[in-house]
Structure formats: C-alpha cells, structure tokens
Amino acid sequence: MVALVLVHNGMHQPQPQSGAAARFPESAAHWAELLLCALPFLLSLCVALILRGQDDRLEFILEPAEPAESYRELDELWKGDAERIRRGRRELIAHALLFGALGTLALGCCTLVILEAVSILEATPRLAGAVTRTSEELRASAELRRMVAVSVASATAVCFTISFGQVLVRTARQDLAPRALGTACRSLLIVVLTAVVTTGSLVYAGIADEPIEALLCGVVVGLLGDRIIEMVFDAIAIVFGVSSGSDDNLENFKLIDGLDEEERLRLSEQGISSLQSLAFTSTALLFFSTRYSYQRICDWQDQALLFLLLGEQRALSWREHFLVRGACDAQELAAKLHAGPSAALDSKALERLQLCDTDEAAVVLDRLTSHPDVARRQLWRRHVPRLQAARRDAAE
C-alpha cells in the first residue's frame, strides 16, 4: 500500500496542472505520501514502547538453596548481568528506532526525487517548440531518477514489511535480540543499494523503460533482501570452485539433547556458536536475554561442559552405559568410582568408560571429581530464580 501510494506520481505520465492543485503544500495526495513515508518510524516507535515494558525477567532474583559464601558470588553475577541487560534493552530500543528511521528516510528521499522528476517532466514539454539536446537530456535524466525512485520505494516498502513482521512476532514472544534488528537494518540498506544499481543499469541499457517495470524490479529486490549477497557469494564460490562447507561448531550443537534448530539459531544471535561458548557463557545472562527457562539453560550448559571435558565419544559412552546426562552427573559417578575399590574397575567397566587402564582411570576420575567448572555448574543448578514479589509475599 505504501509503495502504491508513494509511486502514484511516478507510475502515471505527468499532466500539466495550474492553480491550487499544482502547489505541493495544498495537494492531499502529497500529504498522504508524507504520512506514509513517516509510517515506518511510527511503527518502530510502537515497537520501542512495547520493548520498554518487557522487563519481566529482570524482576527475578536468585534464591539460594542453602546459605553459603558461594551464593553471594553468584548473586553479584546475577545482579551485574541484570544491569547489563537493562543497558542492552535501551540499546535495543535505539536499534528499533534506527530501523524505522532508515525506512522513513528511504521513502522520504524517493518521494522528493519523484516529485522533482515529475515537475521537470511537466515543465520540459513547454520547450517543445524548439526541442534542443539539452531539454532531451534533461527529460532523460528526470525519467531515470523517477524510475530508480519508484524501484527503491517499492523495494523499501516490501523489505520493511517483511522485516517488521518478523520483528513484531519476536517482540510478541519477548525474544527480540539486537542482532535481529541489526540484520533488519542491514537488509534494508542492501535492498536500497541493490535497487538503485539494478534499476539504473536496466534503464541505462534500455531493458526497462516503463515505471511498472521499475516497480516490479523493486518488488523482486525487496523480496530477496540480503539473500542477494548470499547468492553473489555462492556464485563466486561456484566460479572459483570454493566451498564454504558446514560449520563444525554449529554441527556440534546437535550433540546437546533438547536443543533444536530454532534454538541454535537464537543462541547464535547471542554470540554462542560453539560448545565452549555455550558452556562458559553466564547462566544469568542467557536467562535474562532469552525466553528459555532457567532449568533448560542449566541443562544445556551442563551437557556442553560434559562434552568439553570428556570428548564426544567418551561422553556418549558414559551417557549410554551410565545414564550420565551432563557434567554434574559425570562428577557424581566419578566420585563414586573414585571412592570405591580399584578392583571394581575391571576391563569391561574401563571399556564402557572409554579408559585404557586403571592409571588413566584414576587420573580422569580424580580430575573430574574436583573440577572447579563442574562445581560451579552444581551451584547454578542448586539456586533457583524467583520473582521479587514472591519474596515480599513470603516475608509478609
């Protein structure tokens, strides 16, 4: 709708006007175009206002399972990450407003270019009595600008509508990340530049000479979005015989039980792209910045730490034979085996543990029993977040 109204002047041949209808400030159509140009920013402002009220998770506090010195350390980390997320929320609102401002700026510039081109095309026929090369060049230049502006306006409207729909859905789910808005801004900029280059080349080559063709070109560019860059890189890779291949770190995420493709992509938006980053990212930070439950986050990090400490094959063997799900379960198993008699570790037990001999078993079990990272993971599992209101009610 925005594109259709915006390019109204560009889609029709200019007709001479006189009187009040020829004056821009008094034209209802022009004011409607200005209002529609401001629509992206107004919509993004609504998203920003919604984001300001989505601080539910920041109201959680960490309830200790038992009084301990370690609780104070975890509580400081919890409060520090909560403050970090509050600052990040303000940056998220700024990103949302920037996204809308870019859309409004692109549509506004297209409106001005179209109006200027139309005014030139209206005035140039008055020189028809003595057609000069200068007037023809002037008309050709104005027609080119009008075609490019029509294409950019339609591409911007389509790209913004798609991106805004995605942003709105994630805002409703309370799962909007700054990287998602950054990607939307990048897509919008790429679409604008691509529409300018593509339409300008088609018009200059004489392939496109009607405004409707420029409109369709802009729609196609807007639908493709930043996938245009991926297509270019894929084409270059095919020409030079280069293949990017799959990311081994992202493939390792498949080892984590209960982590699907959508959740892996969401974690990657938080900068988590490997088992190592998942295991050692702050639990509180993940809880505040995503919509996943505290128990699931602890479980994912526990599993990631298990694979880091034991390796893939050994961890899978422990999981298959001893029902070890994460590093905490592995530590409990190691403590029991390490405290028991060494004769209990026969050849079959060592094979299932993926250990060569009793000497290696002694080293591995001793190290795993006293590993500080596993002990910290145990602490995070014991403490449970509660709403501050719940604490106040309990105190009363």
Answer yes or no: is 380 within a domain. yes
Q: Averaged in consecutive runs of 10 residues, what is the pLDDT profile of the chain (396 residues)?
A: 47 48 53 83 92 79 70 84 86 91 93 85 59 70 89 93 92 85 90 90 82 89 80 67 54 86 87 90 90 92 94 92 92 86 74 86 88 90 73 46
Answer yes or no: is 244 within a domain. no
Classified as helix, coil or strand, 63 is strand
- pLDDT at residue 281, rounded to an integer: 92
* Number of domains into which the chain is organized: 2
Answer yes or no: is 231 within a domain. no
Answer yes or no: is 345 within a domain. yes
Question: Are both 220 and 256 inside the same structural domain?
Answer: no
Answer yes or no: is 260 within a domain. yes
Question: Are both 283 and 364 inside the same structural domain?
Answer: yes
Answer yes or no: is 102 within a domain. yes
Q: Provide the Cα torsion 16, 18, 20, 22; round to 10°.
A: 30
Classified as helix, coil or strand, 324 is coil
Question: Are both 99 and 194 inside the same structural domain?
Answer: yes
Place of tokens 């001999």: 357
Contact 287, 57 (CB under 8 A): yes
Question: Are both 32 and 174 inside the same structural domain?
Answer: yes
- pLDDT at residue 98, rounded to an integer: 93
Can you give the three-state secondary structure of the chain, one letter per residue?
CHHHHHCHHHHCCCCCCCHHHHCHHHCHHHHHHHHHHCHHHHHHHHHHHHHHCCCCHHHEEEECCCCCHHHHHHHHHHHHHHHHHHHHHHHHHHHHHHHHHHHHHHHHHHHHHHHHHHHHHHHHHHHHHHCCHHHHHHHHHHHHHHHHHHHHHHHHHHHHHHHHHHHHHHHHCCCCCHHHHHHHHHHHHHHHHHHHHHHHHHHHCCCCCCHHHHHHHHHHHHHHCCHHHHHHHHHHHHHHCCCCCCCHHHHHHHHCCCCCHHHHHHHHHCCCCCHHHHHHCCHHHHHHHCCCCHHHHHHHHHHHHHHHHHCHHHHHHHHHHHCCCCHHHHHHHHHHHHHCCHHHCCHHHHHHHCCCCHHHHHHHHHHHHCCHHHHHHHHHHHCEEEEHHHHHHHHC
If we measure between CA atoms, which residue out of 98, 87, 200, 97 comes closest to residue 151? 200
What span, in angstroms and rounded, lies between the C-alpha atoms of 342 and 339? 9
- pLDDT at residue 53, rounded to an integer: 79
- pLDDT at residue 386, rounded to an integer: 81
Residue numbers of the domain that contains 280 = 250-395
Measured in whole angstroms, the distance separating CA 129 from the mean position of its chain's CA atoms is 58
Answer yes or no: is 241 within a domain. no
Question: Are both 179 and 276 inside the same structural domain?
Answer: no
Structure tokens given for 181: 């808005």
Domain boundary among 187, 211, 226: 226
Q: What are phi and psi of 210, to 5 degrees?
A: -120, 145
Answer yes or no: is 316 within a domain. yes
Contact 317, 298 (CB under 8 A): no
- pLDDT at residue 270, rounded to an integer: 86
- pLDDT at residue 328, rounded to an integer: 94
Place of tokens 């949302």: 96
DSSP E strands: which ranges in the chain?
Answer: 60-63, 384-387
